[in-house]
Amino acid sequence: MTEWSGDGETSPARFTFRLRVSSTAAAALLAEWGRIRWVWNQCVAESRAAHKTGKTSGPARLDRLLTGWRGQHEWLRGGASVPQQQAVRDFAKARAKALKDIKGRVPVRQRTGMPRFKKKDLAPPTMNYTRRGFRLKDGRLHLAGGISLSVVWSRPLPSDPSSVRVYRDAHGHWYASFVVQARKAADAGISATKRELINMARKHGRDLRLVHPAHTTMDCGRCGARAKHALPLSERTYTCTVCGAVSPRDKNSAHVMLVRAGLNPAGADRVGLDRPQGDRAA
């Protein structure tokens, strides 16, 4: 599964893969989740206590508290610090979003609720690791704390991941969701469409010709001359200043692409670019 977010600029994307988890690794993951869940619940308790006394409980204070908790509890120090720190940050983000909704007078049903306690038998195991908390080597995912997992690579990652979320779904299956940067969301959509077209052409034995899209709205479909300036979107008619050809903008672009693909524009729709309107069949 691939999920893209953003407004068209370079934005993070999630690539999710199935994990093959041994019994030993599963036990280690659940033990790690137990520590993370404890840290989260401590953050909830501290936040509620601070609210009652009129104090603030921001991320900096919670980070200091986590350092103290790890110093007091050996079993907590037995786990990796990265996912525990990330649990504190995730709690802070969730709380900030809830306070923002309250301040913005968002309707109650649409508000993000304040973070709640995670119950052992109800909350699904979820662990977040930043770049310093994991590494990829020989096709395997190695997490801080000595946990090694086998990834079912259904496709390659487009770039080095900046973080990973390891979680278990309701069916007991484990997954790794990597966050990567490198492309615009629009480019990703075009790339996915191109890939599917290539696959379908191969599957059905079709002739697929890829055409470079640059300057298709500036080149003349009849003589190939290129306009000095790009046409504004409001200009729907293409007029060649060299040969004088006049045609609808989109049709001219279609003819340019046919020529680039090595096809005959006149044979594609049985009508030449410069054929008079009255000679066309009804």
Q: How many CA atoms lie within 13 A of 17 on its CB side?
A: 20
One-letter amino acid of 243? C
Query: Residue 137: helix, strand or coil by DSSP?
Result: strand
Q: Quick one: pLDDT at residue 188?
A: 63
pLDDT at residue 187, rounded to an integer: 63
Cα R_g (the chain), whole angstroms: 29
Tens of pLDDT along 254-267? Answer: 889 888 888 877 66
What is the model's pLDDT at position 90? Answer: 92
Classify residue 54 as exposed, middle or buried by CB count within 10 Å of its CB (0-12, 13-18, 19+).
exposed
CA-to-CA distance for 24 and 31, rounded, in angstroms? 11
Residue 263: what pLDDT?
83
Predicted pLDDT of residue 50: 85
Tens place of pLDDT per residue across the chain (282 aa): 555 444 445 567 889 999 999 999 999 999 999 999 999 999 999 988 888 887 777 788 899 999 999 999 999 999 999 999 999 999 999 998 988 888 888 888 888 888 899 998 889 999 999 999 999 999 999 999 999 999 999 888 888 999 999 999 989 999 999 999 876 656 666 777 888 888 888 888 888 888 887 888 889 988 988 888 877 777 888 889 889 889 898 898 888 988 888 887 766 554 444 444 444 443
Measured from the Cβ of residue 154, the count of other Cβ atoms closer than 10 Å reads 10
pLDDT of residue 6: 46
Tokens 């509620």 identify what position? 48
| Beta strand pairing call for 140-143 and 237-239 | unpaired
